[in-house]
Chain A
Amino acid sequence: MAIATHGTASNYLQRAPSPSGLADVVELILDKGLVIDAYVRIAVIGIELITIDARIVIASVDTYLRFAEAVNRLDLTQTEAAGLKELRDGGGNGDGKAKGMAEGAKDALSGDGDRQKERAERG
């Protein structure tokens, strides 16, 4: 998993050499790789207990209400310049912190406290 650093452009995002989280491993070696159908597979007891917390987007009223709520929760005074900033200078202040230690897309939902730091640096 990527661990971004508060570093220079050349070392902004570090490549993780091997999967460290269960979700990544499960995806890699339970879903992918050679399968030899004729042979015994180990009884994978316990695998069913592993839930990858990546929410699949389904077009439904529930999803829409959730998005509406998320949009209504936004504090636009804090995020106003984000779209522009992204195009203008692309950050460069260590904001790329991957919250990737959690599985799947859950981390993407966990909000973004980094915005304040970014604003502070913009002055």
Chain B
Amino acid sequence: MSAATALYLYGVTWADAARPQAGAGVHEESVEAVPYRQLAGLTSAVESTKVPAKRRDLLRHAEVLGTALVHGTVLPLRFGVVFENSTTLVEDFLSPRYAELVQLLRKFEGRVELSVKAYFREEAILAEVVHANPRIARLREATRAASDTSTYPLRVELGERVAAELQERTLRDRQVLLDRLSRLAVDVQVDQEPIEHQVLGASFLVDRERVAAFDDAMNKLAQEQAPRMHFKYLGPLAPHSFVGLSAEAG
């Protein structure tokens, strides 16, 4: 890596848990630990600070952190943070932020992030809405045959009522899912962006020894809700959704 002019940083871990990862990093560079007292930055030498980020590199950033998590607690960085070299990494980041980083690592010791997403199955949830709301059922009958200008106001009303029902069911079912899962978690971050048919998008901070119990709860939910929802369940992840530095301006 004689051409290396910059140092890419994936995350920060305990020095005694840091392991090199040959060829696993961005641009297929190796991952090396830069230790500082009890801490270590997980880094790769890269050729320039201007290299393009490819799909493969995004995946590798996540994979490097996933591998590091197997060996110990890790504080994940957002994609794309680069230092000039290992000296500046220590002098500008690991040293001045030492106490804070140690505190964060202790806070996340033995804990992992689990990501849960739940989506309504469109056909099933719309059928529910039609059956539950007589006005919607009637509007549907009235507009089914003709989607021309004569039914336009009715179709707008139909859609508006459907949207309201979906919103209500989303909020209600989101709370049900959160109630079932939150009690197994130390912390939870709920995505508030209203994605169509997404009932829940949330990250849970979970003690490692409770991951199996969380799996069981997820399995039960997925089974119960199978006719009307499907799930995405991801983890264990480094605590991406829960880390933060004070006075972070990012």
Contact = CB atoms under 8 A, between A and B. Distances in A.
Nearest to A9: B223
B175 interface: no
Interface string B29-49: 000000000000000001001
B132 interface: yes
B208 interface: no
A97 B232 CA distance: 10
Given A63-B163, A69-B147, A104 B195 contact: yes
B230 A29 contact: no
Interface string A85-102: 110001111011111100
Interface in A1-59: 1-2, 4, 9-19, 22, 24-26, 28-47, 50, 54-57, 59
Contact of A115 (B49, B124, B155): B124
B227 A86 contact: yes
A83 B132 contact: yes
Contacts of A93: 226
B18 interface: no
B50 A42 contact: yes
Contacts of B77: 33-36
A100 B232 contact: yes
Contacts of A29: 58, 61-62, 65, 76, 78-79, 240
Contacts of A120: none
A37 B249 contact: yes
A92 B159 CA distance: 32
Interface in B192-250: 193-198, 215-216, 218-228, 230-238, 240-241, 243-245, 248-250
B90 interface: no
Interface in B142-179: 143-144, 147, 155-160, 162-163, 166-167
A59 to B, nearest CB: 7
Contacts of B159: 61, 63-68, 71
B196 A105 contact: yes
Interface of A: 1-2, 4, 9-19, 22, 24-26, 28-47, 50, 54-57, 59, 61, 63-72, 74, 76, 79-80, 82-83, 85-86, 90-93, 95-100, 104-105, 107-109, 111-112, 115, 118
30 contacts: A1-B232, A2-B222, A4-B226, A4-B231, A13-B233, A16-B235, A18-B234, A25-B61, A29-B65, A31-B78, A32-B241, A33-B78, A33-B240, A34-B244, A36-B250, A38-B92, A39-B83, A40-B82, A43-B53, A57-B196, A66-B159, A71-B158, A71-B162, A72-B147, A74-B130, A83-B131, A86-B228, A90-B223, A91-B226, A112-B122
Interface of B: 6, 8-9, 11-12, 46, 49-55, 58-59, 61-63, 65-66, 75-83, 92-93, 114-115, 117, 119-124, 126-132, 136, 139-140, 143-144, 147, 155-160, 162-163, 166-167, 193-198, 215-216, 218-228, 230-238, 240-241, 243-245, 248-250
| Leading 8 A-B pairs by shortest Cβ distance | A35-B250, A64-B159, A91-B226, A79-B127, A108-B119, A13-B222, A45-B52, A37-B249
